[in-house]
Amino acid sequence: MDTKLIHGGVFGDPHTGAVSVPIYQVSTYKQRRVGEHAGYEYSRTGNPTRAALESLIAELENGARGLAFASGMAAISTLVSLFNQGDHLVVGDDVYGGTYRVLSKVFSRLGIDADFVDTSDLDQVKAAIRENTRAVYMETPSNPLLKVSDIRALADLCKERGLLLIVDNTFLTPYWQNPLDLGADVVVHSATKYLGGHSDVVAGLLVTKDEQLGEQLHFLQNSIGGILGPQDSWLLMRGIKTLGLRMKQHEANARRIAEWLREHPKVKNVFYPGLPDHPGHALAARQARGFGGIISFDVGSAEAADKVLESTRFFTLAESLGAVESLISVPARMTHASIPPERRAELGITDGLIRISVGVEDVEDLIEDLGRALG
Protein backbone atom coordinates (compact mmCIF):
# COMPACT_ATOMS: atom_id res chain seq x y z
CA MET A 1 0.00 0.00 0.00
CA ASP A 2 2.79 2.46 0.84
CA THR A 3 4.28 1.89 -2.61
CA LYS A 4 0.91 2.09 -4.36
CA LEU A 5 0.34 5.52 -2.78
CA ILE A 6 3.40 6.79 -4.64
CA HIS A 7 3.32 4.75 -7.85
CA GLY A 8 -0.40 3.95 -8.28
CA GLY A 9 -2.53 5.44 -11.04
CA VAL A 10 -0.55 7.60 -13.45
CA PHE A 11 3.06 8.32 -12.52
CA GLY A 12 4.30 11.72 -13.72
CA ASP A 13 4.15 12.98 -17.29
CA PRO A 14 5.42 10.87 -20.21
CA HIS A 15 5.84 13.97 -22.43
CA THR A 16 8.29 15.89 -20.23
CA GLY A 17 9.47 13.40 -17.61
CA ALA A 18 7.94 15.54 -14.83
CA VAL A 19 7.49 13.23 -11.82
CA SER A 20 4.29 15.02 -10.79
CA VAL A 21 1.18 14.78 -12.99
CA PRO A 22 0.73 18.21 -14.62
CA ILE A 23 -2.31 20.37 -13.91
CA TYR A 24 -4.20 20.40 -17.21
CA GLN A 25 -6.01 23.70 -16.71
CA VAL A 26 -8.12 23.33 -19.84
CA SER A 27 -11.79 23.04 -20.76
CA THR A 28 -11.67 21.77 -24.36
CA TYR A 29 -9.39 19.78 -26.68
CA LYS A 30 -8.58 20.12 -30.36
CA GLN A 31 -10.15 17.50 -32.60
CA ARG A 32 -8.24 16.44 -35.74
CA ARG A 33 -11.48 15.64 -37.52
CA VAL A 34 -15.02 15.58 -36.18
CA GLY A 35 -15.07 13.03 -33.38
CA GLU A 36 -11.34 12.20 -33.77
CA HIS A 37 -9.41 13.28 -30.65
CA ALA A 38 -6.59 12.19 -28.34
CA GLY A 39 -8.92 10.74 -25.69
CA TYR A 40 -10.35 13.98 -24.34
CA GLU A 41 -13.01 16.28 -25.82
CA TYR A 42 -14.38 18.39 -22.96
CA SER A 43 -13.22 18.61 -19.33
CA ARG A 44 -16.60 17.87 -17.74
CA THR A 45 -16.49 14.50 -19.52
CA GLY A 46 -12.80 13.92 -18.84
CA ASN A 47 -9.63 15.81 -17.88
CA PRO A 48 -6.14 14.24 -17.72
CA THR A 49 -5.38 15.52 -14.20
CA ARG A 50 -8.72 14.31 -12.89
CA ALA A 51 -8.28 11.04 -14.81
CA ALA A 52 -4.93 10.47 -13.04
CA LEU A 53 -6.61 10.94 -9.65
CA GLU A 54 -9.52 8.71 -10.69
CA SER A 55 -7.21 5.89 -11.73
CA LEU A 56 -5.22 6.30 -8.49
CA ILE A 57 -8.24 5.97 -6.18
CA ALA A 58 -9.54 3.01 -8.23
CA GLU A 59 -6.20 1.27 -7.73
CA LEU A 60 -6.02 2.08 -4.00
CA GLU A 61 -9.52 0.66 -3.43
CA ASN A 62 -8.94 -2.35 -5.72
CA GLY A 63 -11.84 -1.22 -7.91
CA ALA A 64 -12.52 -1.03 -11.64
CA ARG A 65 -13.39 2.64 -11.91
CA GLY A 66 -12.79 5.82 -9.89
CA LEU A 67 -14.68 9.10 -10.26
CA ALA A 68 -13.86 12.50 -8.73
CA PHE A 69 -16.42 15.13 -7.70
CA ALA A 70 -16.51 18.68 -6.37
CA SER A 71 -17.33 17.45 -2.83
CA GLY A 72 -18.27 14.33 -0.92
CA MET A 73 -21.91 15.43 -1.17
CA ALA A 74 -21.63 15.85 -4.96
CA ALA A 75 -20.31 12.28 -5.14
CA ILE A 76 -23.11 10.97 -2.90
CA SER A 77 -25.84 12.89 -4.77
CA THR A 78 -24.60 11.62 -8.13
CA LEU A 79 -24.55 8.09 -6.73
CA VAL A 80 -28.10 8.34 -5.36
CA SER A 81 -29.32 9.57 -8.75
CA LEU A 82 -28.66 6.01 -9.97
CA PHE A 83 -31.98 5.17 -8.33
CA ASN A 84 -35.50 5.80 -9.61
CA GLN A 85 -38.70 7.21 -8.23
CA GLY A 86 -40.26 4.52 -6.05
CA ASP A 87 -36.94 2.99 -5.04
CA HIS A 88 -36.01 2.52 -1.38
CA LEU A 89 -32.67 2.58 0.42
CA VAL A 90 -31.65 1.17 3.81
CA VAL A 91 -29.18 3.63 5.37
CA GLY A 92 -27.09 3.66 8.54
CA ASP A 93 -28.74 5.67 11.32
CA ASP A 94 -25.65 7.67 12.23
CA VAL A 95 -24.36 8.47 8.75
CA TYR A 96 -22.83 11.87 8.07
CA GLY A 97 -25.38 14.65 8.69
CA GLY A 98 -25.21 15.88 5.08
CA THR A 99 -25.99 12.40 3.79
CA TYR A 100 -29.00 12.21 6.10
CA ARG A 101 -30.09 15.68 4.93
CA VAL A 102 -29.83 15.07 1.18
CA LEU A 103 -31.72 11.78 1.49
CA SER A 104 -34.44 12.97 3.86
CA LYS A 105 -34.93 16.50 2.44
CA VAL A 106 -33.99 16.29 -1.26
CA PHE A 107 -34.19 12.77 -2.68
CA SER A 108 -37.32 11.98 -0.64
CA ARG A 109 -39.08 14.75 -2.63
CA LEU A 110 -38.10 12.96 -5.83
CA GLY A 111 -39.62 9.71 -4.62
CA ILE A 112 -36.46 7.92 -3.45
CA ASP A 113 -37.16 6.82 0.11
CA ALA A 114 -34.73 5.89 2.84
CA ASP A 115 -35.08 4.13 6.18
CA PHE A 116 -32.36 4.74 8.76
CA VAL A 117 -31.32 1.75 10.88
CA ASP A 118 -28.35 0.60 12.95
CA THR A 119 -26.26 -1.23 10.33
CA SER A 120 -24.12 -2.80 13.08
CA ASP A 121 -27.22 -4.95 13.79
CA LEU A 122 -27.80 -7.29 10.81
CA ASP A 123 -31.36 -8.07 11.96
CA GLN A 124 -32.35 -4.40 11.81
CA VAL A 125 -31.05 -4.21 8.24
CA LYS A 126 -32.91 -7.40 7.26
CA ALA A 127 -36.14 -6.10 8.79
CA ALA A 128 -35.89 -2.81 6.87
CA ILE A 129 -35.50 -4.41 3.43
CA ARG A 130 -38.64 -4.07 1.32
CA GLU A 131 -39.63 -5.26 -2.11
CA ASN A 132 -38.53 -1.95 -3.65
CA THR A 133 -35.22 -1.70 -1.73
CA ARG A 134 -32.28 -1.24 -4.10
CA ALA A 135 -29.28 -0.65 -1.84
CA VAL A 136 -27.81 -0.60 1.65
CA TYR A 137 -25.73 2.50 2.43
CA MET A 138 -23.44 2.59 5.46
CA GLU A 139 -20.39 4.02 7.19
CA THR A 140 -18.03 1.99 9.32
CA PRO A 141 -16.82 3.03 11.79
CA SER A 142 -19.71 5.45 12.18
CA ASN A 143 -19.81 9.02 13.32
CA PRO A 144 -19.65 10.09 16.14
CA LEU A 145 -20.04 6.87 18.15
CA LEU A 146 -17.66 4.77 16.04
CA LYS A 147 -19.98 1.79 15.77
CA VAL A 148 -18.55 -0.95 13.59
CA SER A 149 -20.67 -2.71 10.93
CA ASP A 150 -19.79 -6.07 9.39
CA ILE A 151 -19.08 -5.30 5.72
CA ARG A 152 -18.79 -8.93 4.63
CA ALA A 153 -22.00 -10.03 6.36
CA LEU A 154 -23.88 -7.08 4.84
CA ALA A 155 -22.37 -7.80 1.41
CA ASP A 156 -23.57 -11.42 1.64
CA LEU A 157 -27.06 -10.24 2.60
CA CYS A 158 -27.10 -7.71 -0.25
CA LYS A 159 -25.95 -10.31 -2.77
CA GLU A 160 -28.67 -12.70 -1.64
CA ARG A 161 -31.33 -9.97 -2.02
CA GLY A 162 -29.95 -8.42 -5.22
CA LEU A 163 -29.05 -5.09 -3.57
CA LEU A 164 -26.04 -2.83 -3.98
CA LEU A 165 -23.84 -2.36 -0.93
CA ILE A 166 -22.43 1.17 -0.67
CA VAL A 167 -19.77 1.93 1.96
CA ASP A 168 -18.60 5.42 2.91
CA ASN A 169 -14.92 4.74 3.67
CA THR A 170 -13.99 8.30 4.66
CA PHE A 171 -12.99 7.47 8.25
CA LEU A 172 -10.50 4.68 7.54
CA THR A 173 -9.47 5.42 3.92
CA PRO A 174 -8.08 2.67 1.64
CA TYR A 175 -4.97 2.73 3.80
CA TRP A 176 -6.76 0.83 6.57
CA GLN A 177 -9.87 -0.67 4.95
CA ASN A 178 -10.90 -1.86 1.45
CA PRO A 179 -14.69 -2.45 1.42
CA LEU A 180 -14.68 -3.71 -2.19
CA ASP A 181 -12.43 -6.62 -1.14
CA LEU A 182 -15.07 -7.52 1.47
CA GLY A 183 -17.90 -7.63 -1.10
CA ALA A 184 -19.13 -4.01 -1.30
CA ASP A 185 -20.11 -2.66 -4.73
CA VAL A 186 -19.34 1.04 -4.33
CA VAL A 187 -17.00 2.99 -2.05
CA VAL A 188 -17.68 6.65 -1.24
CA HIS A 189 -15.12 9.15 0.05
CA SER A 190 -15.25 12.64 1.32
CA ALA A 191 -11.69 13.26 0.14
CA THR A 192 -11.93 16.58 1.99
CA LYS A 193 -10.88 14.60 5.08
CA TYR A 194 -7.92 12.19 5.31
CA LEU A 195 -7.22 11.76 1.59
CA GLY A 196 -6.62 15.49 1.13
CA GLY A 197 -5.37 15.65 4.70
CA HIS A 198 -4.44 19.32 5.00
CA SER A 199 -7.76 21.19 5.39
CA ASP A 200 -7.24 22.88 2.03
CA VAL A 201 -9.47 21.08 -0.49
CA VAL A 202 -13.11 19.96 -0.71
CA ALA A 203 -13.57 16.86 -2.88
CA GLY A 204 -15.46 13.59 -3.20
CA LEU A 205 -14.68 10.23 -4.80
CA LEU A 206 -16.56 7.12 -5.86
CA VAL A 207 -15.04 3.74 -6.71
CA THR A 208 -16.94 0.82 -8.21
CA LYS A 209 -16.01 -2.82 -8.17
CA ASP A 210 -17.27 -3.46 -11.67
CA GLU A 211 -16.68 -1.61 -14.90
CA GLN A 212 -20.33 -1.53 -15.97
CA LEU A 213 -21.53 0.27 -12.82
CA GLY A 214 -18.51 2.54 -13.22
CA GLU A 215 -19.65 3.42 -16.73
CA GLN A 216 -23.18 4.14 -15.50
CA LEU A 217 -21.79 6.46 -12.82
CA HIS A 218 -19.53 8.17 -15.34
CA PHE A 219 -22.63 8.82 -17.44
CA LEU A 220 -24.25 10.44 -14.37
CA GLN A 221 -21.08 12.36 -13.47
CA ASN A 222 -20.97 13.81 -16.99
CA SER A 223 -24.74 14.43 -17.10
CA ILE A 224 -25.03 16.12 -13.68
CA GLY A 225 -21.66 17.83 -13.90
CA GLY A 226 -20.42 17.99 -10.29
CA ILE A 227 -16.83 17.24 -11.29
CA LEU A 228 -13.59 18.06 -9.45
CA GLY A 229 -11.44 20.70 -11.17
CA PRO A 230 -7.83 20.04 -12.25
CA GLN A 231 -6.21 22.17 -9.49
CA ASP A 232 -8.06 20.34 -6.73
CA SER A 233 -7.46 16.96 -8.42
CA TRP A 234 -3.73 17.70 -8.32
CA LEU A 235 -3.89 18.86 -4.70
CA LEU A 236 -5.63 15.65 -3.74
CA MET A 237 -2.98 13.49 -5.45
CA ARG A 238 -0.36 15.47 -3.57
CA GLY A 239 -2.18 14.73 -0.30
CA ILE A 240 -2.56 11.03 -1.09
CA LYS A 241 1.21 10.58 -1.52
CA THR A 242 1.67 11.00 2.26
CA LEU A 243 -1.53 9.19 3.30
CA GLY A 244 0.42 6.25 4.75
CA LEU A 245 2.75 8.41 6.84
CA ARG A 246 -0.14 10.44 8.13
CA MET A 247 -2.53 7.55 8.87
CA LYS A 248 0.14 5.70 10.89
CA GLN A 249 0.80 8.81 12.97
CA HIS A 250 -2.92 9.66 13.40
CA GLU A 251 -3.53 6.17 14.68
CA ALA A 252 -0.52 5.89 16.98
CA ASN A 253 -1.52 9.23 18.54
CA ALA A 254 -5.20 8.25 18.80
CA ARG A 255 -4.40 4.97 20.57
CA ARG A 256 -2.29 6.74 23.20
CA ILE A 257 -4.92 9.44 23.72
CA ALA A 258 -7.83 6.94 23.93
CA GLU A 259 -6.00 4.97 26.63
CA TRP A 260 -5.15 8.15 28.50
CA LEU A 261 -8.73 9.48 28.29
CA ARG A 262 -10.07 6.22 29.66
CA GLU A 263 -8.09 6.71 32.88
CA HIS A 264 -9.14 10.35 33.28
CA PRO A 265 -11.55 10.90 36.22
CA LYS A 266 -13.62 13.54 34.37
CA VAL A 267 -14.25 11.35 31.32
CA LYS A 268 -17.30 9.09 31.56
CA ASN A 269 -17.08 7.11 28.33
CA VAL A 270 -14.51 6.73 25.57
CA PHE A 271 -15.50 5.53 22.10
CA TYR A 272 -12.56 4.25 20.03
CA PRO A 273 -12.61 0.91 18.15
CA GLY A 274 -8.94 0.38 18.98
CA LEU A 275 -9.79 -0.09 22.68
CA PRO A 276 -10.14 -3.83 23.43
CA ASP A 277 -13.45 -3.31 25.29
CA HIS A 278 -15.10 -1.36 22.44
CA PRO A 279 -18.04 -3.54 21.26
CA GLY A 280 -16.81 -3.45 17.64
CA HIS A 281 -13.14 -4.06 18.43
CA ALA A 282 -12.84 -7.68 17.26
CA LEU A 283 -14.80 -7.04 14.06
CA ALA A 284 -12.79 -3.89 13.31
CA ALA A 285 -9.56 -5.84 13.81
CA ARG A 286 -10.81 -8.49 11.38
CA GLN A 287 -12.05 -6.31 8.53
CA ALA A 288 -9.62 -3.38 8.71
CA ARG A 289 -5.86 -2.97 9.14
CA GLY A 290 -6.15 -0.04 11.53
CA PHE A 291 -8.59 1.76 13.82
CA GLY A 292 -8.16 5.31 12.59
CA GLY A 293 -7.73 8.65 14.31
CA ILE A 294 -11.20 9.67 15.51
CA ILE A 295 -12.18 9.42 19.19
CA SER A 296 -15.39 10.47 20.93
CA PHE A 297 -15.67 10.85 24.70
CA ASP A 298 -18.31 12.01 27.13
CA VAL A 299 -17.64 14.63 29.80
CA GLY A 300 -21.18 14.54 31.22
CA SER A 301 -22.77 17.86 30.23
CA ALA A 302 -22.84 20.63 27.64
CA GLU A 303 -21.25 23.00 30.23
CA ALA A 304 -18.35 20.64 30.88
CA ALA A 305 -17.91 20.14 27.13
CA ASP A 306 -17.84 23.92 26.56
CA LYS A 307 -15.09 24.33 29.16
CA VAL A 308 -12.94 21.81 27.32
CA LEU A 309 -13.67 23.30 23.88
CA GLU A 310 -12.75 26.80 25.07
CA SER A 311 -9.51 25.74 26.73
CA THR A 312 -7.57 23.67 24.21
CA ARG A 313 -4.64 25.20 22.41
CA PHE A 314 -3.67 22.57 19.84
CA PHE A 315 -7.16 21.13 19.25
CA THR A 316 -8.91 23.67 17.03
CA LEU A 317 -12.67 24.06 17.47
CA ALA A 318 -13.96 23.28 13.98
CA GLU A 319 -16.14 20.94 11.95
CA SER A 320 -14.45 18.42 9.65
CA LEU A 321 -11.78 15.85 10.47
CA GLY A 322 -8.85 13.96 9.05
CA ALA A 323 -6.30 16.74 8.63
CA VAL A 324 -2.78 17.07 10.00
CA GLU A 325 -3.95 19.48 12.71
CA SER A 326 -6.04 18.18 15.61
CA LEU A 327 -9.68 19.30 15.65
CA ILE A 328 -12.31 19.21 18.38
CA SER A 329 -16.11 19.48 18.17
CA VAL A 330 -19.38 18.73 19.96
CA PRO A 331 -21.52 16.65 17.59
CA ALA A 332 -24.84 17.49 19.33
CA ARG A 333 -24.47 21.20 18.57
CA MET A 334 -22.33 21.06 15.41
CA THR A 335 -22.19 18.18 12.91
CA HIS A 336 -25.35 16.47 14.23
CA ALA A 337 -27.37 19.58 15.21
CA SER A 338 -29.89 18.93 12.41
CA ILE A 339 -30.96 15.67 14.11
CA PRO A 340 -33.92 16.27 16.52
CA PRO A 341 -32.94 16.11 20.24
CA GLU A 342 -35.10 13.01 20.98
CA ARG A 343 -33.48 11.18 18.06
CA ARG A 344 -30.02 12.25 19.24
CA ALA A 345 -30.80 10.87 22.69
CA GLU A 346 -31.90 7.55 21.16
CA LEU A 347 -28.67 7.37 19.19
CA GLY A 348 -26.56 8.17 22.28
CA ILE A 349 -25.26 11.50 20.97
CA THR A 350 -25.32 13.25 24.36
CA ASP A 351 -24.74 16.96 25.03
CA GLY A 352 -21.47 16.17 26.77
CA LEU A 353 -20.09 14.12 23.89
CA ILE A 354 -16.89 15.54 22.41
CA ARG A 355 -15.35 14.29 19.18
CA ILE A 356 -11.69 14.76 18.42
CA SER A 357 -9.86 14.23 15.16
CA VAL A 358 -6.37 13.47 16.37
CA GLY A 359 -3.73 15.17 14.24
CA VAL A 360 -0.09 14.32 13.67
CA GLU A 361 1.39 16.66 16.30
CA ASP A 362 3.61 15.37 19.12
CA VAL A 363 1.28 13.19 21.19
CA GLU A 364 2.73 14.44 24.52
CA ASP A 365 1.75 17.98 23.57
CA LEU A 366 -1.77 16.80 22.67
CA ILE A 367 -2.19 14.94 25.97
CA GLU A 368 -0.90 17.89 27.97
CA ASP A 369 -3.34 20.14 26.10
CA LEU A 370 -6.35 17.89 26.77
CA GLY A 371 -5.24 17.43 30.39
CA ARG A 372 -5.14 21.17 30.94
CA ALA A 373 -8.53 21.66 29.25
CA LEU A 374 -10.20 18.86 31.24
CA GLY A 375 -8.69 20.22 34.45
Ligand X SMILES: *Cc1c(COP(=O)(O)O)cnc(C)c1O
Task: List residues with catalytic annotation.
Answer: 44, 96, 168, 193
Query: How far is 254 from 343, CA to CA, in rounded Å?
Result: 28
CB of 221 to ligand X, least distance (A): 15
**Residue count at the site for ligand X (CB under 6 A)?**
15
- The total of other beta-carbon atoms located within 10 Å of residue 263's CB is 8
Least distance to ligand X from the beta carbon of 142, Å?
9
Q: At what angle do helices 230-241 and 48-60 cross, to 10 degrees?
A: 30
With CB under 6 A as the contact rule, the residue among 24, 83, 96, 176 that binds ligand X is: 96
DSSP characters over 7-62: HSS--S-TTT--SS------SB---SBTTB-SS-SBTTT--HHHHHHHHHHHHHTT
Q: How far is the CB of 81 from ligand X (least distance, A)?
A: 16
- Prior bond to 141 cis, omega within 30? yes
Q: What is the DSSP-derived secondary structure letter of residue 119?
A: T
Q: Is 177 in the site for ligand X (CB under 6 A)?
A: no
Q: Does 71 bind ligand X (CB under 6 A)?
A: yes
Q: What are phi and psi of 58, to 5 degrees?
A: -60, -45
139 binds ligand X (CB under 6 A): yes
Region from 70-78, 210-218, 228-236, 272-280 binding ligand X, contact rule CB under 6 A: 70-78
Least Cβ distance, residue 121 to ligand X (angstroms): 20
Taking the least distance from each CB to ligand X, the nearer of 71 and 253 is: 71
- Counts of helices then strands in the chain (DSSP H, E): 14, 12
Binding to ligand X by residue 120, rule CB under 6 A?
A: no
Q: Minimum CB separation from ligand X for residue 124, in Å? A: 20
Amino acid sitting at position 295:
I
Strand partners, 114: 89
Residues within window 252-281 making contact with ligand X, judged by CB under 6 A: none
Closest CB to ligand X: residue number: 72
The residue within the footprint of ligand X, chosen from 170, 249, 312, 329 (CB under 6 A), is 170
- 143-171 in b/e form (b: 16+ CB < 10 A) is bbbbbbbbbbebbebbeeeebbbbbbbbb
Residue from 98, 226, 300, 348 in contact with ligand X (CB under 6 A): 98
Q: Which of residues 181-210 bind ligand X (CB under 6 A)?
A: 190, 192-193, 202, 204
Closest distance between ligand X and the C-beta of residue 199, in Å?
A: 12
**Angstrom distance (rounded) from CA 373 to CA 32:** 65
Q: According to CB under 6 A, which one of 10, 21, 53, 73 is a site residue for ligand X?
A: 73
Give the residue with the Cβ less far from ligand X, 185 or 369. Answer: 185
The CA radius of gyration of the chain, in Å to the nearest whole number, is 21
Q: Would you tell me which residues interact with ligand X (CB under 6 A)?
A: 71-73, 96, 98-99, 139, 143, 168, 170, 190, 192-193, 202, 204
